Structure 1
């Protein structure tokens, strides 16, 4: 589908559902946080917001959704299958893809699932840090029916300080199913405090 057609389709879908988009994209490659992630609808709205903003989003998804008969559709929509049970140095692989690409937007849902969890997974942070690219504060706020990018920041390596920035930004963002929202905290923060 041509970009202009995607944009028109996305704009129509979002308008019919009462959504607005916010933010500007001023980087060619970055990791985009996809949060809060509480519903299967998040993928549809994330893609619509991306298309409306004229951004081709690549995203990580559970490997099982890429099986036949619909797997090819998810790949065509920018999906990259990930087996969450296996640890195959995903951070380094994703960082390498970003370093080698001329332009790439990699959306990562830090909760790692649609269910409430006590911690975000840190992959989004370490992918960006390892690749030397910024992190975009991508969001879907079902409470306000808004989506977009709330700015960029470059991870400093000071996990707690950087996570404070994220906690402040995402504090008022509501997922489609608020009870499924995960706590905005990384396990590394607890380790730092215990040390």
Structure 2
């Protein structure tokens, strides 16, 4: 399956660039998420880099058996958002057990415009003592781009300023679907929810 993903990625003339190689341990913040193709592009990029990623996805993606097999085969971890559990502590503990772990989280949690980005990725990185790497597709240039690592200090607002700047440089498949937590779109103009 992974070979097929890489073939699809390369046949589409996609490539990878940015701050490479990736750190051995990091939380990868994947955005903007405007299309189902974004995930496939990201999987292809990880295959091209020959690195394994673990992906947190909503539990509903794992309900249909063929999709569940696919999600697990590519490193998917189902998360039930309706159940209160300490995902931050669990994820941080997993980082402590491994010398290599790339945990990928799409903080928007939807392909629709939303200012309600989930910040668990930040809390996980801070608790685990690992950097955050921003990653996203640029459809105009057909590249999956990875940012320089961001070391979380506990000052989330300040720490994430480079992340917002990085994501604004990308050209998502559907730019009108992007809405940042401050209510601005890709162009930096206020749009509201």
What TM-score do the two structures reach when normalised by structure 2? 0.85
1:39 aligns with 2:7: no
**Which residue pairs with 2:106 in the alignment?**
109
**Which residue pairs with 1:100 in the alignment?**
97
1:148 aligns with 2:120: no
1:159 aligns with 2:181: no
1:14 aligns with 2:9: yes
**Which residue pairs with 1:131 in the alignment?**
128
Q: Is the 8 A contact 2:114 2:181 kept in 1?
A: no
What TM-score do the two structures reach when normalised by structure 1? 0.85
1:175 aligns with 2:168: no
Task: Identify unmatched segments of 5+ residues in structure 1.
Answer: 187-195
Please give the per-residue CA displacement for 1:36-77, whole angstroms capped at 9, x wherever unaligned. 111211221110000001111110111111124221221111
Q: What RMSD in Å do the two structures reach over aligned CA positions?
A: 2.0
Please give the per-residue CA displacement for 1:74-98, whole angstroms capped at 9, x wherever unaligned. 1111000011222211111111111
Q: Is the 8 A contact 1:135 1:155 kept in 2?
A: yes
**Which residue pairs with 1:191 in the alignment?**
none
Quote the Cα distance in structure 1 between the aligned partners of 2:45 and 2:73.
17
Deviation (angstroms), 1:108: 0.4
1:185–1:159 Cα change, 3 Å: farther
Q: Is the 8 A contact 1:163 1:185 kept in 2?
A: no
**Which residue pairs with 1:193 in the alignment?**
none
